[in-house]
Structure 1
Amino acid sequence: MSTSFRAQVVWGVGLIAYIVAVLHRTSFGVSGLEASARFETSASVLASFVVLQLVVYAGLQVPVGVLLDQIGPRRLLIIGALIMASGQAVLAFAETVPAAAGGRILVGCGDAMTFVSVLRLVATWFPPGRVPVLTQVTGLTGQLGQVLSAVPFVAVLNNYGWTQAYGSAAALSVVVAVVAIATLRDSPEVRAYPIQVNTWSGVGSDLMTAWRHPGTRLGLWTHTTTGFAGMVFVMMWGYPFLVAGQGLSRAMAGTLLTVMVLAGAVAGPLVGVLVQRHPLRRSWLVLGVVLANASAWTAVLLWPGTAPFWLLVLLVLSLALSGPGSMIGFDFARTFNPPNRLGTATGIVNVGGFTAALLSILAIGVVLDLRSGGTATYELDDFRIAFSVQYVVWVGGLLGILRTRRRVRRRMAEHGVVVPPIREVIARRRRHRRGP
């Protein structure tokens, strides 16, 4: 088997594992009514499961990144699949809220191990020039797991019941683990990078070294500032804003969310190609994504009355850039850290967007409750004030990006790589077009 074909197989298996992880991540959301009846609890309690899962996922990113550097992506991905299988199995037979919460915690733990493992496989199996595009495609393809949870999982749930649906999901994760055991390898060579079981002091040293590099922190601020707005919109507050705030029908709101997903699928590979062709201008792409998100939200929030439909379309198109933009953060981590520290750096980066999204979701909810008196009847002005909390993240994130970018470029200059100011590049191209 050629190395090129083997790389495609490894990536394909990694993609399947990530798709199944997203299926597990979103399965509870599509079974909310059944969960409410099974556990005899309120919607607010069930909604807290989303926050709990985000907390687990974000909180484990750095420990998982450290573990990835210790044991490699193959073992970590297999362990993650088995943990998710156990979590779904617990849910299949759970009859109380604490048991269900325990199952979701396990799912969050396994989910946290999957994406970073697939990114490491991509980085070690493919040439560096192909990694940016493949990273974007990996992130986008994984969202097919949402389709699996919304269609076949729901079909099994409706036709055969709760236990059978979650039991089938658990079995699917076991199959993924078995396939991964049979097909995955950490790298084309026997050992492309040393896997060392460090002492606690050694692990702490690697963590601090990764954190101290401004390239890692640039990736963290990138993931934080570009990724959170899209997650807030899709995971929690976008649908209520469109229906209760903008007065759209449920069908039309769903259509806009679908447009956002499709636009992201188109934008991702394009962003990957731009990163591949212009690696020294990645930060400008990041700033462009942040500017697009903030500008679209500003126009919608300042529009007198409900926004016109074309402006809402523009909003979801701009938010579709959030996911592809956040992936640039992983590219910063990859290019500024050695392979034996890449997992730790990736984990540091990945915690940013999810933490910012979690805090923003909670802050928006608090503001809405304060404005509405806890009645869950929201007006457009309530949403205007609540969504304004996003500007805190954008401003703080932009300051972090600009500060760490200066430090990165200073360190690059020390190694002989000078990034000319963008105005000089534009002026040079203009002179070239004019000719002698």
Structure 2
Amino acid sequence: MTQAEKVKKLERYRWVVWGILVVAYVIVFFHRLALGVVRQDLVDTFNITGTTFANLGSMYFYPYMFMQIPAGILADSLGARKTVTYGTLLAGLGSIIFGLAPSILWAFVGRLLVGLGVSVVFIAILKIQSQWFKESEFGTMSGMTSFVGNLGGVMAQTPLALVVAAFTWRTTFVGIGLISLVVAFLCYWVVRNTPEEMGLPSIAEIEGKERPSQAPQRPPIGESLVRVLTNPRTWPSFFMFTGFFGAFISLTGAWGQSYLIEVYDLPSTVAPNYLMAATLGLAIGSFAIGKISDVMKRRKLPMIVFGAIYTITWGILVFVNGGKPPIAMLYPLFFVMGFTCSAFVLSWACGKEVNHPSIAGISTSVVNIGGFLGSAILPPILGRVFDAYGGVLEPTALFQRAFMYCFAFVAVSFLFAFLVKETHCRNIYIEKKA
């Protein structure tokens, strides 16, 4: 096979590798947002409070958060192929346990296993992107990955509500678990960690940046982690991601459906349509901001512009008409909210581009902790508000008080976007050290 034929094969097969992994990521997003839609089913089945429900939702995010650095280490050492295979397998088993749970304890166990399993998928995809795609394509590919993954979030709104109504929530989660097991098998069978594993040239070779013998050597794992954690340029992206994503999950994955039903008196089969607009907006925005960033060769400016609009949308939701904007505003408001929340997509690229190029898995995993830190701690804060004031305040005032925390998280996180180091879409770590 000639060099040109090898390059063509690489350019074709990388989409197969990415395609299988991104199907696993669709499952990740489905589980991330699904609980909000089945909240009442869970309350009725297990007789739980708002705080317990929020903690059940957070049981996905805690292991996800704590696994991000191990996920980066696994992606850099074990490889994306086995990492995603084992993770998706565990998530499938967790979903089945959740669907069959005889008590709330077993529901927590199932949710924990799901969070543990899916926690490794995204970092592994970023690692694959760094091996199979050009550095100049990283922002676009991260956006495409988030776009397709968010389709899982879309499925976890109105489509999930309809499926649950037809087959019950238990059957639905068992079914998703079985699908996950099939995807795990495909990951092991199809995915390869690098082009070299198939006898193909590396991306660096194709771009003429280095010969294989000149490839940068990855520092030891401990040293790699210390380098990322002690690099001050890592942290602005981390904290921006924390508030932006935590607030979005609090709305679309936990309390949004209850807000729409209790404040606007919408039917339970109609309310998810509005949240679907937000998740669809995030999907489209994720692709758009990645493409815009790569074309502009800028990271910071798109983050600031999108982030400013995102902060304004939360201000509208909380302050307009006492926390109850006119219902005619909700579809465009939620869509724009999701679209501009995608500012966090660039945080992964920024984290990768300010750290050693050979530790892309660890650097992106550290940044990724931020979003899931916010997603783990913010919904239970709202849950405590609902439990404390649910019998005191009427629904509009109650949700306004709760969503005020989301607005505050977003506003503070937006300030960190101004501290992000502009990389102009290239790795600046070596340049900085030179």
Where do 1:419-434 residues align within 5 Å?
A: none
Equivalent position of 2:309 in the other structure = 292
Equivalent position of 1:71 in the other structure = 78
Tell me the matched-pair count.
408
Equivalent position of 1:277 in the other structure = 295
* 1:367 maps to 2:373: no
* 1:109 maps to 2:116: yes
Instruction: Rate the CA distance shift 1:166–1:258 in 2: closer, same or farther, 3 A.
Output: closer
Q: Give 1:251 shift.
A: 6.3
Equivalent position of 2:412 in the other structure = 396
Q: Distance in 1 between matches of 2:38 and 2:328?
A: 33
Instruction: Rate the CA distance shift 1:203–1:243 in 2: closer, same or farther, 3 A.
Output: same
Q: Distance in 2 between matches of 1:244 and 1:217?
A: 38
Instruction: Rate the CA distance shift 1:146–1:310 in 2: closer, same or farther, 3 A.
Output: closer
Where in structure 2 are there 5+ consecutive unaligned residues?
A: 1-5, 203-214
Aligned AA (1:86): L
Q: Tell which deviates more after alignment, 13-22 or 342-351.
A: 13-22
Equivalent position of 1:267 in the other structure = 285
Where do 1:330-345 residues align within 5 Å?
A: 330-345=348-363
Q: Give 1:413 shift.
A: 11
Equivalent position of 2:151 in the other structure = 144
**C-alpha contact (below 8 Å) 2:98/2:173 kept by paired residues:** yes
102, 117, 127: which one aligns with 1:120: 127
Q: Distance in 1 between matches of 2:272 and 2:34?
A: 18
**C-alpha contact (below 8 Å) 1:225/1:290 kept by paired residues:** no
21, 25, 34: which one aligns with 1:14: 21
Q: Give 1:36 shift.
A: 5.4
54, 60, 72: which one aligns with 2:61: 54
Identity of aligned pairs, percent?
22
Q: Give 1:209 shift.
A: 0.4
Q: Distance in 2 between matches of 1:33 and 1:252?
A: 15
Instruction: Rate the CA distance shift 1:120–1:390 in 2: closer, same or farther, 3 A.
Output: same
| Structure-2-length-normalised TM-score | 0.80
Q: Give 1:272 shift.
A: 1.5
Where in structure 1 are there 5+ consecutive unaligned residues?
A: 418-436
Q: Give the SS at the match of 2:197.
A: coil
Q: Give the SS at the match of 1:185.
A: coil
Aligned AA (1:104): R
Aligned AA (2:391): T
Q: Give the SS at the match of 1:170.
A: helix
Q: Distance in 2 between matches of 1:413 and 1:35?
A: 48
**C-alpha contact (below 8 Å) 2:228/2:362 kept by paired residues:** yes
**C-alpha contact (below 8 Å) 2:147/2:284 kept by paired residues:** no
Q: Distance in 2 between matches of 1:267 and 1:77?
A: 26
**C-alpha contact (below 8 Å) 2:318/2:400 kept by paired residues:** yes
Q: Distance in 1 between matches of 2:325 and 2:35?
A: 32
Q: Give the SS at the match of 1:143.
A: helix
Equivalent position of 2:89 in the other structure = 82
Larger Rg: 1
Q: Give the SS at the match of 1:303.
A: helix
Where do 1:91-110 residues align within 5 Å?
A: 91-110=98-117
Instruction: Rate the CA distance shift 1:230–1:162 in 2: closer, same or farther, 3 A.
Output: closer
Q: Distance in 1 between matches of 2:55 and 2:40?
A: 15
**C-alpha contact (below 8 Å) 2:247/2:407 kept by paired residues:** no
Q: Give 1:352 shift.
A: 1.0
Aligned AA (1:393): F
Q: Give the SS at the match of 1:19.
A: helix
**C-alpha contact (below 8 Å) 1:293/1:315 kept by paired residues:** no
Equivalent position of 1:180 in the other structure = 187
Q: Give 1:416 shift.
A: 8.2
Q: Distance in 2 between matches of 1:153 and 1:398?
A: 32
Q: Give 1:6 shift.
A: 0.6
Q: Give 1:392 shift.
A: 3.6
Where do 1:208-227 residues align within 5 Å?
A: 208-227=226-245
Give per-residue Cα distances to partners, 1:308-346, cap 9 Å, x unaligned: 345444531331135421111011122223343111111
Q: Distance in 1 between matches of 2:135 and 2:252?
A: 32
Give per-residue Cα distances to partners, 1:125-151, cap 9 Å, x unaligned: 112222212211211212333455668
Aligned AA (1:293): Y
